[in-house]
Every structure is written in structure tokens, then in C-alpha cells.
């Protein structure tokens, strides 16, 4: 393995936190140490890189974190890193610490910052997709999505109990301002009657038509999953409009909110994060840069950042079809 050029690797988590980030960090640190490299942990993302908040991480520093949600490196959004002056300060910190390469764990915004930084300072960079939204092209799954989806389904199951007991129509809002992966998967896994996602336009009239069909089939309760960005005003406004025109059910709303971000990562997310963290270090040591490591068909694949940044993740059309077919 041609790894002599890289002796010290910096790693950071940026953007929204996601369950499994700690498992990924653990894999990065321990893989680096296994190959005789030093790993510099950057605290609070790009802002921490600018302000010089960092520490050399030992194998023990990442002990007992694989089961923890959030990120022990903390995270923050940094407007300053969007500027050339901010990135210059970040570069100076890496130079002072003799860092040879950077691993960035996060989403599209994180990747954009890493790509620009790499171009400006010719620094080897590998990115790892960590976001509950599962909206990054080049990987079938992002770190945190499976856990967030399971959290949503657990809540849906409990809400369905009361919906069925009281013959109610529940609108359940899940995260997904621009992406409908959580809503779609939770909708199928939770047995919902309808799913509204940002990728597909659905009018109030369309939804009422689906609910009326269910009512004619003697459904005594219904669950509608709404991604937060699917309808202006969210699930609350949608429920109000439906209630005005469709009085068959007693209508209630539940907004799951940030509880979907937290919690102990699922086994799938822990394994995915470990595989991607390990692959990121090996990719750098093999001379790769400006790429993202992802999971495609259960194999680790590298994708150029230029093919990832700004591009949309395509939802599986068959999953969308399944929602309609199984709701009858």
C-alpha cells in the first residue's frame, strides 16, 4: 500500500449530526493507527478547523462511542469557511499541525467545502456521507438514515394504536425538507395509507381522493406520512385543509421533529459507518482524493465529488409504487 506520503490525517464531522458518526470516527481513527498514521480530530467541524480546535486521537479516545448517537467531535455550520479568508485560516491550522490529508463526514454542504478547500490548497480529501436524509448520490445509504427511519417507524406504530382505537386520521410529519427518503421508507414500513414527499407534487384534492377510497373500503383509521418539505405549512396546514373538506375522520397531527436525529445507531448504521470510515483511510493511503466513499449494491465504491455535489439522489420508483399498491 503506497502510504508513505501521508503520515497525518485530519477528520471532522460537519452539518447535521447523524447516528453512526461516532462509529465512523472510530473506524477512521483505528484504521489510521493500524497503518501507523496519526489522526487529528477537529472539533466543531469547519468552524473548529478555522479556530484551531483539535486533538490527536488515540485508539482509547474512541472507545465506548460506537453505540452513541450524535458526534463526540461535535458539529457546527460555518459561514466563515465559505469565505477564502476562512479557508486560509483552516489551511494554516493544518499546516501548523503537519496534516497531510482530510476526511470530512457530512452531507452535500460538507462535501462542497471539502472540495473547494482541496482545490485551493491541493490537499487530499475523502468525504463520507453522514446524513439522516439519505439524499446523497453515489451511495445507496447514508450513515444515520437507517436509525432515523427505525425511530420514525417506532413512533408510527405507537400512533397507529391510538388512531385505530379512536377511528382517527393522523398526519405524521417526518424530517426531509428537500428529500423524501425517510417519509417513503417509514411510510412503507409503517403501513401508511399515503406518503407526501418533496419529489412528487400531491394536491389536497389528490390526498382526499385517496382517503375517500379508503373510507369506501371501511377503513376506520388512516396514517398519512408527510415529509416536512412536501407541503407548504407542513403537516399541520395540510391537516387543516383536509379536515375542512373531509369529515370522515377525527384528524390529529404528530410532528416527530429532531428526535429522529438522536438515539443509539442501529446495527446497520454501525456496520455501514465502520466500513466507510475504514475505506476512507485506505483510499487516502492509496492515493485517492476528491472522492466520496459510498455503499452501492453492498460494495464500497468511490465517486468523484464533482459527480456528487449539487446532484439529486434518485428515489426508487418501485418504492413509490408500493406505497399506493399496499394502501388499498
CATH number at residue 196: 3.40.50.460
Average pLDDT over residues 202-226: 86
Does pLDDT of 280 surpass 50?
yes
> Looking at the structure, do residues 159 and 131 belong to the same domain, yes or no?
no
Q: Which of 22-26, 83-87, 105-109, 245-249 has the lowest mean pLDDT?
A: 245-249
| Residue 3 located in a structural domain | no
Does pLDDT of 211 surpass 90?
no
> Looking at the structure, do residues 49 and 118 belong to the same domain, yes or no?
yes
Paired with 47 in beta bridges are none
Parallel/antiparallel/unpaired status of strands 101-106 and 125-129 = parallel
Does pLDDT of 209 surpass 80?
yes
By residue range, what is the domain housing residue 234? Answer: 145-261
Distances (CA, A) of 104 to 1, 15, 41, 116: 22, 10, 11, 13
| pLDDT, position 328 | 76
Does pLDDT of 9 surpass 70?
yes
| Residue 27 located in a structural domain | yes
Domain count for the chain, please give it. 2
**C-alpha cell read off for 94:** 493544518
User: Between residues 137 and 163, which one has the greater pLDDT?
Assistant: 137
CATH number at residue 273: 3.40.50.450
Distance, CA of 140 to CA of 261 (rounded, Å): 19
Average pLDDT over residues 116-132: 97
| Residue 328 located in a structural domain | no
Query: Looking at the annotation, which residues are catalytic?
Result: 133
| pLDDT, position 2 | 46
| Residue 324 located in a structural domain | no
> Looking at the structure, do residues 36 and 161 belong to the same domain, yes or no?
no
| Residue 54 located in a structural domain | yes
Q: Which of 93-97, 110-114, 146-150, 319-323 has the lowest mean pLDDT?
A: 319-323
Q: pLDDT tens-digit profile of 28-60?
A: 999 999 999 999 999 999 999 999 999 999 999
Q: Please report which confidence band the pLDDT of residue 1 belongs to, taking 50, 70 and 90 as the band edges.
A: very low
| pLDDT, position 215 | 78
Distance, CA of 309 to CA of 318 (rounded, Å): 25
| pLDDT, position 53 | 97
| Residue 319 located in a structural domain | no
| pLDDT, position 3 | 52
Amino acid at each position: 500500500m503506497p502510504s508513505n506520503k501521508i503520515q497525518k490525517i485530519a477528520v471532522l464531522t460537519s452539518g447535521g449530526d447523524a447516528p453512526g458518526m461516532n462509529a465512523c470516527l472510530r473506524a477512521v481513527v483505528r484504521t489510521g493507527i493500524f497503518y501507523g498514521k496519526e489522526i487529528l480530530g477537529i472539533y466543531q467541524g469547519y468552524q473548529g478547523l478555522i479556530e484551531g480546535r483539535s486533538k490527536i486521537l488515540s485508539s482509547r479516545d474512541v472507545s465506548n462511542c460506537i453505540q452513541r448517537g450524535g458526534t463526540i467531535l461535535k458539529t457546527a455550520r460555518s459561514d466563515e469557511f465559505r469565505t477564502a479568508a476562512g479557508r486560509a485560516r483552516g489551511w494554516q491550522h493544518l499546516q501548523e499541525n503537519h496534516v497531510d490529508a482530510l476526511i470530512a463526514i457530512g452531507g452535500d454542504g460538507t462535501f462542497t467545502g471539502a472540495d473547494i478547500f482541496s482545490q485551493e490548497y491541493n490537499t487530499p480529501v475523502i468525504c463520507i456521507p453522514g446524513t439522516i436524509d439519505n439524499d446523497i448520490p453515489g451511495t445507496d445509504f447514508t450513515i444515520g438514515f437507517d436509525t432515523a427511519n427505525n425511530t420514525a417507524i417506532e413512533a408510527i406504530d405507537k400512533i397507529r394504536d391510538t388512531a385505530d382505537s379512536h377511528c382517527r386520521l393522523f398526519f405524521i410529519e417526518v424530517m426531509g425538507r428537500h428529500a423524501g427518503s425517510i417519509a417513503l421508507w417509514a411510510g412503507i414500513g409503517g403501513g401508511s395509507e399515503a406518503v407526501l414527499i418533496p419529489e412528487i407534487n400531491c394536491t389536497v384534492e389528490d390526498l382526499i381522493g385517496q382517503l375517500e377510497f379508503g373510507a369506501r373500503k371501511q377503513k376506520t383509521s388512516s396514517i398519512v406520512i408527510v415529509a416536512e418539505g412536501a407541503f407548504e405549512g407542513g403537516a399541520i396546514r395540510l391537516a387543516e385543509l383536509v379536515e375542512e373538506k373531509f369529515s370522515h375522520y377525527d384528524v390529529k397531527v404528530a410532528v416527530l421533529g429532531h428526535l429522529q436525529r438522536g438515539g443509539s445507531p442501529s446495527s446497520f448504521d454501525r456496520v455501514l459507518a465502520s466500513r466507510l470510515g475504514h475505506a476512507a483511510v485506505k483510499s487516502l493511503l492509496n492515493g485517492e482524493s476528491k472522492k466520496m466513499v459510498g455503499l452501492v449494491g453492498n460494495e464500497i465504491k468511490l465517486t468523484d465529488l464533482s459527480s456528487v455535489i449539487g446532484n439529486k439522489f434518485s428515489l426508487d420508483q418501485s418504492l413509490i409504487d408500493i406505497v399506493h399498491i399496499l394502501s388499498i
